[in-house]
Structure 1
Amino acid sequence: MKMKTLALASIAAFGLVSAAAQADTVTVNGGTVHFKGQVVSAACAVDAGSVDQTVQLGQVKTSTLTAANNTSSPVGFNIQLDDCDATATQASIIWNGTQGGATNILALQSSSAGGATNVGIQVLDKAGKPVVFDGATASTGSTLSTGTNTLPFQARYISLAGKATAGTANADATFKVQYQ
C-alpha cells in the first residue's frame, strides 16, 4: 500500500513540475526572413552565391598606387552558372556601374569623410581584358557546357591621376548574363 501511495505521489508531483515547466514558456518576436529570387527562361540560372557576392580587395598601400594607371595585385572571383542546357553555346557578362574617369574603371562610392581618392576599381575578364561598365558591352564570352559553368574574373585597384590617397575604397556594380 505504501508503494502505491508513493508511486501516485511521485506521478502527481511530476505532473505538477511538468505543468510548471510549461507555464515558463515565453515567445518573443524574432525578425523577418527575406526570400529573394527569380524564375528565368534562359540557358542557365545564375548561382545564388554569385548573385550578391562580395569581393574582398583587402588593404593596398598608397605607395603601390603612386601614378596614373598603377594597379594593385588582382583578386579572382567567379560568376557561376548552374543547370545549363544546350539552348545556348556561349555566355558573356554585361557590367553596369558608375564609371570613374574611363568606361573601364568603376568609381568608388562617395563618402563624406574617410574615402580614398584618385583610385577606382578595374575588373578583368577571362582574357585579361578590362570590362566596360556601360550596361551594354559584353565581356569576353565563355563556351558553355551542360551543367555548371564558372566564368572567371579578377578585380584590382587602379590609380587615376596622380597618387592615391588613403581611405575606404568600396564600389558596387551590377551584371547581366548574355547568352548566344
Structure 2
Amino acid sequence: MLLAASGVQAHDGRVYVSGTITDNTCSLSPDSENINVAMGAVSQRQFYRAGDGSAWQPFAIDLQNCGSTASGVTVSFSGAGDSRNTDLLALTAGESDASGIGIALYDQNKTLIPLGQESDVVTLSPGQASAHLQFYARYLADGGTVTPGDANASATFILAYE
C-alpha cells in the first residue's frame, strides 16, 4: 500500500509600506466644536406637502491653523435619518415632539447635503490660515402628518481634506 503525502510549503514574504506625511488639514475653531442652530418657532400650517420648508437658518464651521498644503475640504453629516426621507435628519422622538418633518442641511449654495454624503469641495488656498464654511438648516416636511411639538435633532459632522 502506497500513501501519497502532500507537502506543506511555507513562504516568507514582506510588506512594503510607503506614503507621505503632509500638512493638509486644519484645526477646528473652539466655537465650532458644538454648534447650536436656533430654528425658532414655526407654524405647522407652513408644511402642507412633502418638501415644504421653513426659513433657512445659517450656521458655520470655522477652521483655523490650516496646513501649508491644504487645498480643499468636504463636510459630511451623520445622524439618525428621517424614516420617510433618509436625506433628512430625524427629529428626536418623544411624547411632546413634533412629527412629519425632518431637518435638512445645506451647503453655502443652499444645495442639500444628504446625510452620509460629502458636500462639494470647498477650495482652500495654499497657506490659507483659516476658513469659514457656511451652511444652512431648515425644517422640511417629509410627507407624513405634521404634528406640533418640540423639533430637535443632533448630527455629527466629519471633515475630509484634499
TM range (shorter): 0.7 to 0.9
Q: 1:84 aligns with which of 66, 69, 78?
A: 66
Indicate the residue corresponding to 1:144 in structure 2: 124
Structure 1 CA distance for aligned equivalents of residues 146 and 47 of structure 2: 6
1:118 is aligned to: 100
- Secondary structure of the residue aligned to 2:159 is strand
User: Unaligned 5+ residue runs, structure 1?
Assistant: 1-40
CA RMSD of aligned residues (A): 1.4
Question: Is contact 2:78–2:156 with CA below 8 Å preserved after alignment?
Answer: yes
Q: Compute the displacement of 1:127 (Å).
A: 2.6
Runs of 4+ in structure 1 deviating by more than 3 angstroms, as ranges, are none
Q: Secondary structure at the match of 1:91?
A: strand
Q: In the alignment, which residue of structure 1 is the partner of 2:136? A: 154
Query: What SS class does the counterpart of residue 167 from structure 1 fall into?
Result: coil
TM-score between both structures, scaled by the size of structure 1: 0.72
CA deviation profile, 1:51-91 (whole Å, cap 9, x unmatched): 11110001100111121110001100000000112222001
Return 5+ residue gaps in structure 2 as ranges: 1-22
Greater helix proportion:
1
Provide the rounded CA distance (Å) in 2 between the counterparts of 1:104 and 1:127. 17
Whole-Å separation in 1 of the counterparts to 2:64 and 2:131? 6
Q: Larger Rg: 1 or 2?
A: 1
